[in-house]
Amino acid sequence: MTPEEFRAHGYAVIDWIADYQARVASFPVLSQVKPGEIRAGLPDAAPEAGEPFERLLADLDEKILPGITHWQSPHFYAYFPANASGPAILGDLLSSGLGVQGMLWATSPACTELETLVMDWLVELLGLPAAFLSTNAGGGVIQDTASSAVLSAMLAGREQATGFATNERGCDGKLTVYTSRHAHSSIEKAAKIAGIGRAQVRLIEVDGTFAMRPDVLEAQIAEDRAAGFTPCFVAASVGTTSSTAIDPVPAIGAICRREGIWFHVDAAMAGTAALCPEFRWIHVGLELADSYCFNPHKWMLTNFDCSAFFVRDRSALIDTFSILPEYLRNQASATGQVIDYRDWHIQLGRRFRALKLWFVLRYYGTEGLRAYVRGHVDAARAFAGWVEADDAFELAAPAPLNLVCFRLKGGDTLNQRLLEALNASGKIYLTHTRLDRKYTLRLCVGQTHTTIDHVETAWRLIRETAGGL
Ligand code: PLP
């Protein structure tokens, strides 16, 4: 493809995306295809001869679009948001166009230095502890996902607890990690990958708000130490996936400090709320954390993937990951004056993700980002109020931010039928969880163009559908 051909097809692709944005609200939110249907509509083998670009775009419309669940629809309330925006998409496109590998400072200095800068900006914008600044002993790095971030943190915690010996000799089967029963599954998954073992993950009981009980954590750590285990990692959630439960970070952090255990805070979705000073309470106690992560790719208008991971002491992370083969040696790294992000995570190669984040932060400005977070929280609160005021429904958990957990009074089967009917309508998309063992519906407000009017329409549909069951 020559630059001129690229220009012509590129215009067509941008038109396609702009048209998609304009019509996304009209598609069934949840793809209605059956398993295997998309593949069955496509050839079994790759083409021998190249095809015209126009045909690829036509197939996107005809063959692929029916199999898309529209995460960018304003009627998408499922799981968690994965919102996007014009500046982010364009920044991502430019990153693809530049096609740089940012593994070392030397392989593209701007890729590293812009990333360090925007991560420092985020520390200020969210009011995070100054220890996370690169100008202090810490720093931030963009990871692909919160799952990779927690794995990186757990590995650093593992090494810290074993004097960096596990890296050399492997696990002794005696390490333990701790998180709440309601924490994200990525923490258990990290324990599997880190060689610690899922059996060594202690899922700590929660209180009535689904937040971790620090007294139970402390007792479990003591019991494990007495039994000869080495506790190496604790993860608290600031906003669980199920219900936005917020663990008591100050109390958990104090235990970790006393015990010398690596303390990670996972604020994957909820962290974005701290852009607004009135929601910064979610991060109380964060100065006790060794590491912290939130996902701009969830609720901060930055399309997937972009996970912001911060550490208090970057040397702990770098000492865990650093390995230097001859072919990566270079003068800039040898001076010790540059950051080589390859030592901050698992993979070597890395995309120029900072570009899209930089575009988002500059295009909207802090004021713009705050306004849109507030709009979502206000809409979720209004929804919670409507649920509470309706005798047929009940709230299932506190709704501190943009997620509302609720039930139709009448048991699991009824709620399951309600969810299925709503999703089959294609008009909205919700998912469920279990709270207190009860089937619970979740409505998470976070798509870029979702307004209180959309949420009101969703509430009307939920009531009408419930009435017809
Ligand atoms: N932590 C929490 C609280 C989450 O809600 C999620 C996603 O649902 C994750 C971690 C995992 O996020 P990622 O897909 O970035 O690994």
In a domain, 434, yes or no: no
Residue with tokens 């930089």: 358
**Pairwise CA distance, residues 450 & 316, whole Å:** 41
pLDDT of residue 274: 98
CB 446 within 8 A of CB 402: yes
One DSSP character per residue, 375-428 reads HHHHHHHHHHHHHHH-TTEEE-S---SSEEEEEESS-HHHHHHHHHHHHHHTS-
**Pairwise CA distance, residues 86 & 75, whole Å:** 19
Residue with tokens 């604020």: 267
Pocket of ligand 1 (CB under 6 A): 80, 145-147, 184, 186, 237, 239-241, 266, 268-269, 295, 307
CATH number of the domain where residue 168 is located? 3.40.640.10
Sheet containing 201-204: order of strands: 139-143, 307-311, 291-294, 262-266, 230-237, 175-180, 201-204
Q: What's the domain count of the chain?
A: 1
DSSP state of 145: -
In a domain, 191, yes or no: yes
Peptide bond just before 340 cis, omega within 30 deg: no
pLDDT of residue 324: 81
Number of the ligand 1 atom closest to the C-alpha atom of 240: 3
Number of the ligand 1 atom closest to the C-alpha atom of 149: 16
Structural domain range at position 311: 92-359
In a domain, 293, yes or no: yes
In a domain, 47, yes or no: no
CA distances from 50 to 53, 54, 214, 354, 356 (A): 9, 12, 61, 34, 32
CA distances from 201 to 82, 191, 219, 419 (A): 28, 7, 15, 32
Q: Which residue CA neighbors atom 14 of ligand 1 most closely?
A: 145
pLDDT of residue 325: 80
Closest CA to 400 of 246, 242, 207, 241: 246
In a domain, 82, yes or no: no
267 CA to middle of ligand 1, Å? 8
In a domain, 73, yes or no: no
Within 8 A by CB and 6+ apart from 385, the residues are none
Render each residue's pLDDT in the chain as its tens digit; 469 residues. 999 999 999 999 999 999 999 999 999 999 999 999 999 999 999 999 999 999 999 999 999 999 999 999 999 999 999 999 999 999 999 999 999 999 999 999 999 999 999 999 999 999 999 999 999 999 999 999 999 999 999 999 999 999 999 999 999 899 999 999 999 999 999 999 999 999 999 999 999 999 999 999 999 999 999 999 999 999 999 999 999 999 999 999 999 999 999 999 999 999 999 999 999 999 999 999 999 999 999 999 999 999 999 999 999 999 999 988 888 888 878 788 899 999 999 999 999 999 999 999 999 999 999 999 999 999 999 999 999 999 999 999 999 999 999 999 999 999 999 999 999 999 999 999 999 999 999 999 999 999 999 999 999 999 999 999 9
Number of the ligand 1 atom closest to the C-alpha atom of 79: 8
Closest CA to 181 of 220, 142, 210, 158: 210
79 CA to middle of ligand 1, Å? 10
pLDDT of residue 218: 98
Number of the ligand 1 atom closest to the C-alpha atom of 147: 16
Residue with tokens 């990692």: 233
pLDDT of residue 222: 98
121 CA to middle of ligand 1, Å? 22
Closest CA to 191 of 202, 182, 181: 202
One DSSP character per residue, 1-52 reads --HHHHHHHHHHHHHHHHHHHHHGGGS-SS--PPTTHHHHTS-SS--SS---
- Residue of 184, 299, 309 with the most ligand 1 atoms within 8 Å of its CB, for mutation: 184
CA angle 300/266/353 to nearest 5° reads: 45
The dihedral region occupied by 60, where left means phi > 0, alpha psi between -120 and 50, and beta the remainder, is alpha
365 CA to middle of ligand 1, Å? 25
In a domain, 317, yes or no: yes
CB 322 within 8 A of CB 343: yes
265: helix, strand or coil: strand
157 CA to middle of ligand 1, Å? 20
**Pairwise CA distance, residues 311 & 160, whole Å:** 13
319: helix, strand or coil: helix
Number of the ligand 1 atom closest to the C-alpha atom of 307: 15
Give the torsion sign (CA, 138, 139, 142, 145). Answer: positive
167 CA to middle of ligand 1, Å? 26
In a domain, 415, yes or no: no
210 CA to middle of ligand 1, Å? 17
